[in-house]
Every structure is written in structure tokens, then in C-alpha cells.
Amino acid sequence: MQMALEEVAAETAASGGPRTVRVYTWEPSTLSLGYRQTPESVDWEYCEANDVTVTRRPTGGGGIYHDAVGDISYSIVAPESELPGDLMECYELLCTPVLAAFDQMGVDAAFADDAHPEIHKPTCYLRKVNPAHDILAGGQKISGNAQYRQRDAVIQHGSLSYALTPDRHLGVFETDDVSRTVFDDRVTSIREQAGIDRDDAVETLKTALAEWVEADAGEWTDDELDSAAAIAEEKYASDEWTRRRTDPLSA
């Protein structure tokens, strides 16, 4: 549903409606696969046993385990014509409020200065660090961000690590060769860096996004929710999309 809402927000923005910034939580716990990620990289039995749903994002990169404790997710949606055409410039612009939020939380975070080597390709937080859109704190990854273009709009979404959940992050993948120590060495969290409450971190990010664009609080329309529910069921919950990367809505 979260990915479907982004598609609907893109259609609304591209047709002259409101642009959207939002902060959200994945419930139930979910593994979001990168667009080109192979389903063989997933430990499907572990996910089923631990009530972790699996979907596929339209953006690339590795899979991310999301839950209501470990991470905080956000998205920004606006017409393509209103944003830089250069991808790196667009990342720099749209990550501005994210970096501002980290600063306000007391986390000294910034884009990576250099690429870091890959540890485990299927896992977003253990992939090769990209200075264009990966954010580090104390040399460790704390946020991953990605963009895609759809319906004449730009959608950027990202995950901020609030608390480390390495057993879950690693458990959802079909691998036995990555230790918790390796994960802890590469990844950090807002709680570890600043010690603030999760609700305060969420509110800080919401405020930073809203102030950045002088946004008003809004709600999804009934039509938007109905459309998103249909897209979620027909696409993002389907095996065609999740396991075979075939968009059933485009068939």
C-alpha cells in the first residue's frame, strides 16, 4: 500500500494537484526488494515464520527490512518539471530536509565522501556505499535514499535507521555468511548516535519536510485511497511483481 500511495501521489502531482511530502511506517513488518533483486536472495521461510511480508520497490538497490521500530521512512513527490533534470542535483536538493532533520536530532550526518566496499549485495545497508545518495554518521550508514520517475513526476523515498535490528535485517535474506558484528560495524542508528525517542525523531523529520516546502497538513482523498488499494492488490501484493518483476497493470 505504501508503494501504491506513491504512485497515486505522483499522478496527483503530475496532473496539477498537491505535491506530497510524508513520513510513514510499514505495518506489518515488510521486506522491500530492490527493483532488480532476485527472489532467490530472500529467505521466504524465515519471512513467513516471522510474519514479514515481501514486496518489490520500483527503485533499485538492495532489500530493506522495515518495521515499526527499526526504521523511519519518508517520501517526496513532485512534478518532474519542477525539479533538476540532473540526477545528482536532484538527490542533493531532495535530501536537504533529511540532512536538516538529522542535524536537528543531534546526529552529525552527511553524504558519504567516498564509496565503501560491498559486503552483501542483496542487503541495502551492506551494499557498496554510494556518495550520491547514501548518508553516513560517524563513517557508518544511517540512511539510504532512492528516486524514480513515473507519470511525469519524481518520487524520492528513503529509510532512516532509528534502531539497529540486525537479526531481522539479515534473517530475511538467504545467507549464512554475514555476521551481526559485520552489520554493526557498517550500520548505525539515530538512537545510537543521539539517544532520542523514536516519536521525537519521527516528529523532527515530519517538521523538517514540512518546513522545507511550507507544506500544509493534508489527507488522502477517497478516490486516491481507492486507487491505491487497487494498485496495491493487483501489483505490489502479487507474485507476478514480487517474485517475477512483471507489472500486471502493464500487461
Q: From first to last of its 251 residues, what are the pLDDT tens digits of the chain?
A: 999 999 999 999 999 999 999 999 999 999 999 999 999 999 999 999 999 999 999 999 999 999 999 999 999 999 999 999 999 999 999 999 999 999 999 999 999 988 888 988 888 999 999 888 999 999 999 999 999 998 799 999 999 999 999 999 999 998 767 788 888 999 999 999 999 999 999 999 999 999 999 999 999 999 999 999 999 999 999 999 999 888 887 65
- Domain assignment present for 248: no
Domain that holds residue 220: 2-242
**Residue 102 maps to a domain:** yes
190 lies in a domain?
yes
**Total number of domains constituting the chain:** 1
In a domain, 213, yes or no: yes
User: Does residue 69 belong to any structural domain of this protein?
Assistant: yes
DSSP code string of the chain: -HHHHHHHHHHHHHTTS--EEEEE--SS-EEEE-TT--GGGB-HHHHHHTT-EEEE-SS-S-BEEE-TTTEEEEEEEEEGGGS-SSHHHHHHHHTHHHHHHHHHHT--EEE-SS-B--S-TTBGGGSPB-TTTEEEETTEEEEEEEEEEETTEEEEEEEEE-S--HHHHHHTBS-SS--HHHHHHHB--HHHHH---HHHHHHHHHHHHHHHHTPPP----HHHHHHHHHHIIIIITSHHHHTT---TTT-
Q: Is residue 247 part of a domain?
A: no
User: Model-level pTM?
Assistant: 0.93
Does any domain span residue 188? yes
Q: Indicate which CATH number applies to the domain containing 23.
A: 3.30.930.10
The verdict on residue 250 lying in a domain is no
